[in-house]
Amino acid sequence: MPGRDGLRYLGAITGTSVDGLDVALIKIDDAKIGLLAQDTLALPDALRTTLIDLGQAEGDHVDALGQADAALGEFIGEAVKGFMGRLGLSAGQVRAIGSHGQTVRHRPDGKHPFSMQIGDPNLIAEITGLTTVADFRRRDLAAGGQGAPLAPGFHIAILGDAAEQRVVLNIGGISNISLLRRPLTGFDTGPGNALLDAWCHAHGLGNFDENGAWAATGKVDSDLFQALMSDPYLTRPPPKSTGKEHYNLRWLAERLRSNLKPQDVQRTLLEFSAASAMQAVGRWAPGTERIIVCGGGRLNSLLMRRLADLAEAPVETIDRHGWDGDAIEAAAFAWLAHQCLTGTAAKIHWVTGARGPRVLGAVYSP
């Protein structure tokens, strides 16, 4: 482990794909941010299924929601405690944990905008003995913002380069981009892995299509591709954010013809994920000189090839810049916990559309 200089923070997040709990330990020393350790822990099958069900537009059940909130909070707390144990860290050696939790509903554009994340931070603080910072989105929503994406501020802190126009493309369940320039902007571009994973799972082929192997056996259906690319969200100007409430199997079914082979649908969905992201970069970030990809989608070799084919700038993974691509989202919330506890307003209002910078997060003492 490193020396005693700098403050250690933990971050934890279960992303839109619900493919596991990402935990990251970072050190912040003045303006320098370094990753010390990272791990991904599989969710219990029953809890994962419940979280996926709750994330669907029709997945409304108050009892299930309350139980999942407690179950996830307990799982995060025990997972973080185990992670610290493996690293030989006591609670006194970590300043705080930033826990994003699991988004089960994101409705930023309604009459009463809201975004709901579960994973009870009271339980996390109780189990770990750590100050826990959570509920990062709602203050931004209260200030008129979208509440998402929140990672662009962290992206520019670790990857900003005044000499080069860069874009960070995060491919989780939903894809989002961060335009690393001033003023900092970013937004959700559309589906990343969400539709690919859901279609794969619906056909009994596991939770995801490793390396796009199944998609590679199919071909792009031009009619379906055009129907997908005609979705009005894609051309809506930012600030904007979206989720599985919009991009789900029901949305796909409304655009499907019954005679398509499943593997052709999978290949078309992969093309849609790549094309919608690159369309967003071309439209809203002209002159981009480098595209840096993080999130689980970077491990899909076919998707990465299609991104490179469609891009007008070099495409590379964040791992080439000294960061574990599986740790970025968790590390971002560790950093946001630091921002909250130091009273530092997150300057992401250009991203979310909020009325100005706000200190994000609520603090739960151990």
Give the residue extent of every domain in the chain. 7-149+327-364, 152-313
Residue 5 has pLDDT above 60, yes or no: no
The pLDDT, as a whole number, for residue 59 is 58
The pLDDT, as a whole number, for residue 54 is 87
Give the three-class secondary structure for 287. Answer: coil
Calpha distance 137→248 (Å, rounded): 22
Share of the chain above pLDDT 70, in %: 98
Among the ranges given (25-34, 124-133, 164-173, 308-317), the one the predictor scored with the smallest mean pLDDT:
25-34
The pLDDT, as a whole number, for residue 53 is 87
What mean pLDDT comes out for the span 326-343?
97
- Give the rounded distance of the alpha carbon of 68 from its chain centre: 20
Among the ranges given (51-55, 89-93, 204-208, 289-293), the one the predictor scored with the smallest mean pLDDT:
51-55
Distance from the first to the final alpha carbon of the chain: 24
pLDDT-derived band at 17 (thresholds 50, 70, 90) equals: confident
Average pLDDT, the chain: 95
Residue length of the chain:
366
pLDDT-derived band at 167 (thresholds 50, 70, 90) equals: very high
Residue 31 has pLDDT above 80, yes or no: no
CB atoms within 10 A of CB 85: 10
The pLDDT, as a whole number, for residue 248 is 95
| pLDDT 10s digits, 219-258 | 999 999 999 999 999 999 999 999 999 999 999 999 998 8
The pLDDT, as a whole number, for residue 60 is 63
The pLDDT, as a whole number, for residue 208 is 94
Residue 16 has pLDDT above 60, yes or no: yes
Share of the chain above pLDDT 90, in %: 92
Tell me the CATH number for domain 7-149+327-364.
Answer: 3.30.420.40
| pLDDT 10s digits, 272-292 | 999 999 999 999 999 999 999
The pLDDT, as a whole number, for residue 1 is 39
Residue 2 has pLDDT above 50, yes or no: no
User: Nearest 5°: phi and psi at 281?
Assistant: -65, -45
Domain spanning 152-313, CATH architecture: 2-Layer Sandwich (3.30)
What mean pLDDT comes out for the span 323-336?
96
Calpha distance 222→207 (Å, rounded): 26
Calpha distance 112→294 (Å, rounded): 32
**Residue 65 carries which DSSP code?**
H
What mean pLDDT comes out for the span 328-353?
96
Instruction: Decide whether 7-149+327-364 matches 152-313 in CATH topology.
Output: yes
Listing DSSP states for 164-209 in one string gives S-EEEEEESSEEEEEEESSS-EEEEEEESSHHHHHHHHHTTS-SS-
The pLDDT, as a whole number, for residue 104 is 93
Identify which of 139, 167, 176, 54 has the alpha carbon closest to the alpha carbon of residue 105: 54
The pLDDT, as a whole number, for residue 257 is 86
Residue with tokens 């809201």: 114
Between 258 and 323, where is the model more confident?
Answer: 323
pTM equals: 0.93
